Structure formats: C-alpha cells, structure tokens
C-alpha cells in the first residue's frame, strides 16, 4: 500500500471499542451466569479469535451487529474441552487469560496460536498457574500450551515482569480457587480485569501494588459498555500532533489512567491535547479528545516505571521523539522485544530509513530528534505486526515523500478500517 504525506488531520472520528476490554468481556461472559450483552464490542482480528475460541469451548455467541454481541454464559466451570486445539490466532491476551480460566475447568485443553504467538513467552503464565495447582505444559516455553484443569488453591504471586495479561490470568484462576489469591505487580498495569470483575460482583481488594480475589460461586455481568480503544486513538493523536494545522476530535475514548501514559509524554513534549466531557462508561473513565498540532515538540525521558502505561504506544513515542528537538531516552523497553514482533528492532528498522536517528540497547531506546518532517521514500514493512503497520502509516503520513507500506493488512488485527478512517480525516 502507498502512504501519501498529508497536510493536516482535520475533523471528527471515533475508533473501535477497546480490544483489552472486549477480550475480557467475552471471556468473563463465557463463564458468567446468564447472558452478557457487550455494547461497543471492538471487532478486530484479535477479538474475532476470542469469539471463535469461546465458541469452540461450547459457548453460544450471538453477533447482533458489528459492535454488539451477546454471550450466553455457561457458568463458572461450564467450558467444554473441544476435540481440536483452541486456535488463539495472533492474540496473546486471549491465550494468556484463557489459560487462567481453563486452569480451573474440568478436562484437558490445548491452546495454539499463529507463528508470531507461538514465538512469545508462555512460561510466565504457566509458572503461576502451576503454583495454584493446575497442570500446564508449554512447548519449550511457548505455545502450543496444554492446560489440564484441577482443584486450585489460592496463592500469593509476585510478578517478575509488569504484565496485565499474566496478572489477569492469575486473578481469573483465583476466582476458581479455594482461598485467596494475591498478585503483586512491580509496576501498575492496566486494571480492566479488576474493574470488570467488580462489575461482575467480585470483591477485589487493591492495596498498593497487590491485588487480591477470593474464590467465587458465580459471576454475573449482564451488560458491558466498551469505550473507544485509547491504543487505536493513539496513532491519530500522534499524527495530528505532528501535522501542522491539524484540529482533530476523537469521541468516546477510554482514558483509564493505566493506559494513558502517552498523554503524559505528550504533555512533557509540549503537545496540545485536551480531554473534555470526562465521564464514566460502566466502570471505565472515558472522554472526548481534542488534538491540535504542535510545531515545538521537545525531547523527554520515559522511565521504566511509566512503560506499562504506554506499552503499546511506544512505537509511536519513538516517532514523536524523532520530530522533537533534542534526545529522547526511553528506558525499560525489554518487554517490547516479546510482543508480536521484537518491537525494539522493528521500530528501529522502520524509522531509520526515514532519516530518524534512533539507536537501541537491550533495554533502552534513544532518539535524537529534529523538528522537521522525516524524508520518507522507500518501503516500510510491518513484519505482520499490527502496531508496526500502524506506525508505518503514521510515519508515511507525516513524512515529506510518503512511503510504500508492505504488510499493511496486519493493522486489522487491532483496527479494521484504520486506513479508511485515516484517509477520511487527512487533508492532502
């Protein structure tokens, strides 16, 4: 696909429902009592994998509209082992959270994924689930995963890395365990699981970085309203910041503070992003976002403790840094190396040929920025990673020469319709 440079981003836009919350709503709905209606469901490649997975486990799902689904819960221990492995596609969140739920079901379950998901670390979720008493086997640390349900006992688990997926897997298994299960996180990660569990009637204790649940008898959700995905709004926020004369309004965006680290970075860089109409949608904070361009971005420092709050936005932060005056240092980026691709390398490989001075260490990215549009030209490759495809599109849009984007279709893993939406607000 050819990405042409744009003059500005102008207009109003909405983005698909939050992917993290959509996965969780379907998975919890599957083991809830009664029906769960998910309004604003974020339809995407990854969340389609979740619908497919719960159906394979015996759950009836009605797709009433693109963004409206009804899940017929089978009760806390009602999932049925299918004859075939459950296909998790490209979705790490699905595989890891589902492993937690299956740990307390009856039977043996196999979880498989695509080539990218099969390269990602799975011992991080297997280890704590074994501690709760489940039998979990990985394939040399990776998928396919075998989970054999067992009577679980609560435990206290200190996460070695800040990961909302692992935290969530342990908390979900904790619902099916006797006694109390506590997860301690090294840094705060997204808390959508905790909020949704509370909405489902579970008592969740949250003290500093320790989250505790006790075993429950049943869950009941009824209705989940999903806000727009902040991570899908992020590329538009960044592009509008970088393109002079932009004035973009994004409506109904989730602004859970465990997700909005990018806004703090933008503020430090002197961008002009304003939130208004702050309100709650169910248990999640949402707002409308106004973005005006900024011609005077300055470099900043991102510490490792901030990374979990913007983990999926760091590729975009690197691009911002490339157009900000001075040197930006991003610490604690090692987790980026175990995403859909090694994003330290794929971000560097994409931005360097555009003329952006970026260098990488094992756990650190450095970008020396210039307040000018990168030259563009050449070919950018997504390597099958949706966040990298989207970075390529934003980089091409803000460049002088545009670029050819190979593997653009990967964007649909999190954001189908991304290119059409970008086009609809782009002034050429």
Residues at the contact surface with ligand S3P, assessed by CB under 6 A: 20, 93, 163-165, 168, 190, 311-312, 335
Q: What is the H or E stretch that residue 386 is in?
A: helix 386-398
Phi-psi group of 92: left, alpha or beta (phi > 0 → left; psi -120 to 50 → alpha; rest → beta): alpha
- Residue 175 CA: distances (Å) to CA of 82, 162, 214, 345: 23, 21, 6, 38
Nearer to ligand S3P, 288 or 313 (CB): 313
| Residue ranges in 296-362 assigned as alpha helix (H) | 314-322, 343-351
Nearer Cβ to ligand S3P (87/312)? 312
* Residue nearer to ligand S3P on the CB measure, 172 or 202: 172
Query: CA–CA separation, 122 vs 286, rounded Å?
Result: 32
Q: Angle at CA 406, nearest 5°, toward 336 and 19?
A: 50
Structural contact between residues 164 and 183, judged by C-beta atoms closer than 8 angstroms: no
Strands 177-178 and 152-153 turn out to be: parallel
User: In the bound complex, what is the minimum distance in angstroms from residue 93's beta carbon to ligand S3P?
Assistant: 4
Contact predicate 1/419, CB 8 Å: yes
CB of 413 vs ligand S3P, minimal distance in Å: 10
Q: Give me the DSSP letters along 109-134.
A: EEEE--TTGGGS--HHHHHHHHHHT-
Name the residue nearer to ligand S3P (CB basis): 45 or 402.
45
Query: What separation in angstroms does the CA of 166 have from each of 139, 160, 209?
Result: 18, 10, 14
**What token pair was written down for 219?**
């869950």
The one catalytic residue in 312, 342, 363, 423 is 312
Query: In this structure, what token pair is assigned to residue 114?
Result: 């695509």
The sign of the torsion formed by the CA atoms of 53, 197, 67, 12 equals negative
Report the alpha-carbon angle 258-260-266, nearest 5: 145
Nearer to ligand S3P, 197 or 311 (CB): 311
Cα 279 from chain centroid (whole Å): 22
Q: Euclidean distance between the first and final Cα of the chain, in Å? A: 17
Q: Is the peptide bond before 144 cis (omega within 30 degrees of 0)?
A: yes
Catalytic (active site) residue 312: yes
Cβ closest to ligand S3P, residue 74 vs residue 190: 190
Report d(CA 396, CA 336) in Å as an integer: 22
| CA–CA dist 11, 239 (Å, integer) | 13
Considering the complex, what minimum distance in angstroms separates the CB of residue 40 from ligand S3P? 16
Is residue 226 within 8 Å of residue 17, measured between CB atoms? yes
Indicate the residue among 20 and 138 with the shorter CB distance to ligand S3P: 20
CB of 32 to ligand S3P, least distance (A): 19
Of 141 and 151, which CB lies nearer to ligand S3P in the complex structure?
Answer: 141
Determine contact, residues 326/298, Cβ cutoff 8 Å.
Answer: yes
CA distance 393 to 399: 10
Which residues are annotated as catalytic?
312
């Amino acid at each position: 696909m050819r990405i042409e440079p744009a003059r500005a981003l102008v207009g109003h836009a909405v983005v698909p429902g939050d992917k993290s919350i959509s996965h969780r709503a379907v998975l919890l709905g599957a083991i809830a009592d009664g029906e769960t209606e998910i309004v604003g469901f974020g339809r995407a490649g990854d969340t389609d994998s979740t619908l497919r997975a719960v159906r394979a486990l015996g759950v009836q799902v009605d797709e009433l509209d693109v963004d409206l689904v009804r899940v017929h819960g089978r009760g806390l221990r009602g999932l049925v082992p299918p004859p075939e492995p459950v296909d998790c596609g490209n979705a790490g969140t699905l595989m890891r959270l589902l492993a937690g739920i299956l740990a307390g079901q009856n039977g043996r379950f196999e979880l498989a994924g695509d080539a990218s998901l099969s390269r990602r670390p799975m011992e991080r979720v297997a280890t704590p689930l074994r501690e709760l008493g489940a039998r979990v086997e990985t394939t040399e640390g990776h998928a396919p995963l075998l989970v054999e349900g067992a009577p679980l006992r609560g435990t206290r688990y200190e996460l070695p890395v800040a990961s909302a997926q692992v935290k969530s897997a342990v908390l979900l298994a904790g619902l099916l365990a006797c006694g109390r299960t506590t997860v301690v996180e090294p840094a705060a990660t997204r808390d959508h699981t905790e909020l949704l569990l509370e909405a489902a009637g579970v008592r969740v204790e949250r003290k500093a970085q320790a989250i505790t649940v006790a075993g429950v008898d049943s869950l009941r959700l009824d209705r989940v309203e999903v806000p727009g995905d902040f991570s899908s709004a992020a590329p538009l926020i960044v592009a509008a910041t970088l393109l002079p004369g932009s004035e973009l309004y994004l409506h109904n965006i989730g602004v859970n503070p465990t997700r909005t680290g990018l806004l703090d970075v933008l503020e430090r860089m002197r961008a002009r992003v304003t939130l208004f109409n702050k309100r709650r949608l169910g248990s999640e904070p949402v707002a409308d976002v106004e973005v005006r361009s900024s011609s005077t971005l300055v470099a900043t420092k991102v510490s490792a403790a901030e990374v979990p709050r913007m983990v999926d936005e760091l590729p975009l932060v690197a691009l911002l840094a490339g157009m900000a005056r001075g040197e930006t240092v991003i610490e604690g980026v090692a987790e980026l190396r175990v995403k859909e691709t090694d994003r330290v390398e794929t971000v560097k490989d994409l931005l360097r040929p555009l003329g952006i001075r970026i260098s990488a260490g094992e756990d650190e990215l450095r970008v020396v920025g210039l307040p000018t549009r990168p030259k563009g030209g050449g070919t950018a490759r997504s390597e099958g990673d949706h966040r990298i495809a989207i970075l390529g599109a934003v980089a091409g849009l803000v460049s002088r020469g545009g670029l050819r984007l190979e593997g653009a279709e990967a964007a649909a893993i999190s954001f189908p319709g991304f290119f059409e939406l970008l086009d609809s607000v782009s002034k050429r």
